[in-house]
Amino acid sequence: MAAVTESPALRADASNAASERAPSARVESRASYSAIAAFLLAAVVYVVWVQGAHLPLGGDSESLGTYAAWITGVCTAAAFAVSFVVTTRRGRLAWRRELPLAKRIVDAVVLTIAIAAVSALSIEAIANVFQQGFQGLTIDPYGGAVLAGAAAAIFAYVSSLLGSRTTAVNVAMLATLVLFMGTLASMLTSPDDRWWELHFSQLGNQSGSSSAVAFNGALILTGLVIVVFSDYAAREAAQGLARRRADDGGFWTIRRRARTIAWLLVAAGLLMCVAGLVHDQVNTAVHVGAASGMVVAFGLLGIFTLAAVPQLPGSFLVLTVLTLAGIVVSAILWIPVGYLNLTGVEFVSAGLLFTWFTVYARTLSAYAQGEAEPGAEASASAER
């Protein structure tokens, strides 16, 4: 059987990947300047925007949290976009140049919107929580400017670092955060206090409400980030397979295995987008079918990865089996046992699935950088 040797291109790719993860004085400096600029811009914009009003911390559209969330979202998007573009032009993500230009542009836009959404939703959620502890408190324009500036500075700093180190793990964590923060924001603003007696999709059924926008938007944006993640996952898988000389000349070449992983992730992401675009009240069959299909796509991804990617850690197999078993058990506890309602099943399933998804990204990243396990090559040679 033919074996694929580690080429100079692969070694260069591995070197670039290592540099993407390594700390850099230039990266830290750019992040610090982004934070300073965000603080000054947010403070000035806030003072001008509120026009002297004393605002509560949260709980209202006219609140410090709402204004700070919008300002922080813009500052975060700018910091991430600048850092991502600069990093790409300096060759840190050279492998992405092989992708079509339109795909690279769409990916950059999706990631920018996602990081902005997470930061804005986080600020608003934090403000609402603090408002519960400071009932009746209002903040003067200058105190609010300092708080808004601090929030923008913190998130701009973090987003600048993420833009400089956009790895498979970071993209997967971003997808998880978008879904979590969007769902949390939807729950906090839902006009139906008893939505949980039905299912999570009820959050997206309240047409015209900010709750529906947050929930459906989170589903769509999370799906798009998963589609972006597919390229990163395929690259990590291909790099790890090449390091282990896994191309035996048969049908399942390294390229085909990596592309299959990518397409399964694209399918999962697009199905999640459909679930967000077609909410339950519009067409129940399409909504439920898309959500169920997304779970099936993730299940197939796990099974295919275990079958087609050799020398993965045994812990990943255990986690995959436990995740699938947990989803099945939660469904049984709904029907026929009746211990959980549908909301409980969805909560357990989504929690397990996206925990597995995050570990999946970390496992592929470690697989791409690690060497073959001791004795693996000798065993493979004996089999040949």
DSSP letters, 57-91, are SSSSSSSHHHHHHHHHHHHHHHHHHHHHHHHHHTT
Shared-domain flag, residues 218 and 147: no
Q: Which residues contact 120 (CB under 8 A, 6 or more apart)?
A: 69, 70, 72, 73, 76
**Contact in structure between 229 and 361 (CB atoms under 8 Å):** yes
Structure tokens at 314: 């045994």
Task: Give the per-residue pLDDT at 72.
Answer: 96
Task: Give the per-residue pLDDT at 23.
Answer: 54
Partners of 139 in beta bridges: 55
DSSP letters, 253-306, are -HHHHHHHHHHHHHHHHHHHHHHHHS-TTT-HHHHHHHHHHHHHHHHHHHHHHH
Nearest to 149 by CA among 55, 29, 28, 64: 64
**Contact in structure between 36 and 153 (CB atoms under 8 Å):** yes
Shared-domain flag, residues 305 and 179: yes
Task: Give the per-residue pLDDT at 376.
Answer: 41
> Residue 381 falls within a domain, yes or no?
no
Q: Of 109, 142, 166, which residue constitutes the final position of a domain?
A: 166
Shared-domain flag, residues 172 and 160: no
Task: Give the per-residue pLDDT at 371.
Answer: 55
**Which residues in the chain come in under a pLDDT of 70?**
1-23, 248, 371-384
Shared-domain flag, residues 218 and 155: no
- Counting Cα atoms < 13 Å in the Cβ hemisphere of 199 gives 16
SS3 56: strand
Cα–Cα distance measured from residue 69 to residue 118, given in angstroms and rounded to the nearest whole number: 10
Shared-domain flag, residues 309 and 174: yes
Name the residue with tokens 């390091």: 243
Q: Of 133, 166, 199, which residue constitutes the final position of a domain?
A: 166
Cβ count near 160 (within 10 Å): 29
> Residue 346 falls within a domain, yes or no?
yes
Shared-domain flag, residues 192 and 317: yes
Domain containing residue 296: 168-372
pTM for the full predicted model: 0.87
Buried b / exposed e over 35-64, threshold 16 CB at 10 Å, is: bebbbebbbebbbeebeeeebbbbbeeebb
Shared-domain flag, residues 160 and 73: yes
Q: Of 132, 166, 200, which residue constitutes the final position of a domain?
A: 166
Q: What are the tens digits of pLDDT across the range 19-58? A: 445 557 888 999 999 999 999 999 999 999 999 999 998 8
DSSP 209: S
Shared-domain flag, residues 121 and 259: no
Number of domains within the chain: 2
> Residue 211 falls within a domain, yes or no?
yes
Shared-domain flag, residues 274 and 194: yes
Task: Give the per-residue pLDDT at 98.
Answer: 85
**Contact in structure between 167 and 21 (CB atoms under 8 Å):** yes
Task: Give the per-residue pLDDT at 312.
Answer: 92
> Residue 260 falls within a domain, yes or no?
yes
> Residue 74 falls within a domain, yes or no?
yes
Shared-domain flag, residues 162 and 173: no
> Residue 377 falls within a domain, yes or no?
no
Task: Give the per-residue pLDDT at 2.
Answer: 35
Name the residue with tokens 């105190």: 143
Amino acid in position 143: G
Shared-domain flag, residues 151 and 179: no
Task: Give the per-residue pLDDT at 12.
Answer: 47
> Residue 378 falls within a domain, yes or no?
no
> Residue 330 falls within a domain, yes or no?
yes
Dihedral of alpha carbons 219, 220, 221, 225, sign: positive
Nearest to 353 by CA among 374, 323, 379: 323
Q: What are the tens digits of pLDDT across the range 58-99? A: 877 788 999 999 999 999 999 999 999 988 887 777 888 888
Shared-domain flag, residues 345 and 207: yes
